[in-house]
Amino acid sequence: MTEQGANRVSCDSHATSRLRMLPMRHALVPAVVLALTTAALAAQEPVISRSQPMTLTGEVVDISCYRQKGVAASTGAAHVDCARICVLQKGAALGILSDGDGLFRLWGAMTRDKSVKLMPYIGQRVEITGAEVVLSNNYDVRSFEVQTIKPSKRSQ
């Protein structure tokens, strides 16, 4: 084989190996991009904006019952059992019917695991601290990210 022929073989084999690797590299790119995008989306909170820290006082209610039945039939001690069933079995969201500020959907770490940390406060007047948040794709009710909750010192 001549020197030119030997170079040609090595160049051809190099070109062939490059061509063989090219599809593999391109196949990996979408997988890597997908993995990075998925991780970024999972870590991203759906919060568009957050207010300054504040305190709300009011009653913890089941939002779906409040909307369907109104204030009289969805508040107070008489509605506690119904609200617990709605939250635990139907996945209903809890809210606070605040004094003067209206209804806020409770959101954040305190609402995880079917709002287990908030369940003892259903039907009670409470003071909650946190921040009003605007959540992505949730414009039907205002949301409040709960940091702390305690029974209200003020009576109704």
Please report, for the domain that includes residue 139, its CATH number: 2.40.50
The reported pTM is: 0.67
Question: What phi and psi values does residue 123 have, to the nearest 5 degrees?
Answer: 80, 0
| 109-138 per-position pLDDT tens digit | 999 999 999 999 999 999 999 999 988 776
Looking at the structure, do residues 76 and 27 belong to the same domain, yes or no?
no
Residues 76 and 29 placed together within one structural domain of the fold: no
Q: Is residue 77 part of a domain?
A: yes
Same domain, 57 and 94: yes
Assess whether 76 and 10 both reside in one domain: no
Is 90 in contact with 64 (CB distance < 8 Å)?
yes
The verdict on residue 54 lying in a domain is yes
Same domain flag for 17 and 37 = yes
Q: Are 53 and 6 found together in one domain?
A: no
Number of domains in the chain: 2
**Domain range enclosing 84:** 47-151
Same domain, 14 and 66: no
Residues 37 and 102 in one domain: no
Asked whether residue 83 falls in the same domain as residue 9, the answer is: no
| Claim to verify: residue 18 and residue 72 sit in the same structural domain | no
Question: pLDDT value at position 154?
Answer: 67
Instruction: Based on the fold, state whether residues 37 and 90 are members of the same structural domain.
Output: no
Do residues 58 and 125 touch, judged by C-beta distance below 8 A? yes
- Asked, for residue 156, whether it belongs to a domain, the answer is no
Question: 26 is written with which tokens?
Answer: 């391109």
pLDDT confidence of residue 45: 55
- Give residues with Cβ within 8 angstroms of 11, minimum separation 6: none
pLDDT digits (tens, 9 = 90+) for 58-91: 999 999 999 999 888 889 998 999 999 999 999 9
Query: If you average pLDDT over residues 2-25, what whole number do you get?
Result: 45
Per-residue pLDDT, 140? 73
Helices in the chain by DSSP H: which ranges?
Answer: 3-43, 63-74, 80-90, 112-115
For 76-112, give the DSSP string. Answer: SGGGHHHHHHHHHHH-PPEEEEETTTEEEEEESGGGH
pLDDT at 34 over 90: no
Q: What is the pLDDT of residue 95?
A: 95
The mean pLDDT of 28-46, rounded to a whole number, is 44
Q: Check residues 46 and 150 and name the one with the higher pLDDT.
A: 150
Do residues 39 and 79 both lie within one domain?
no
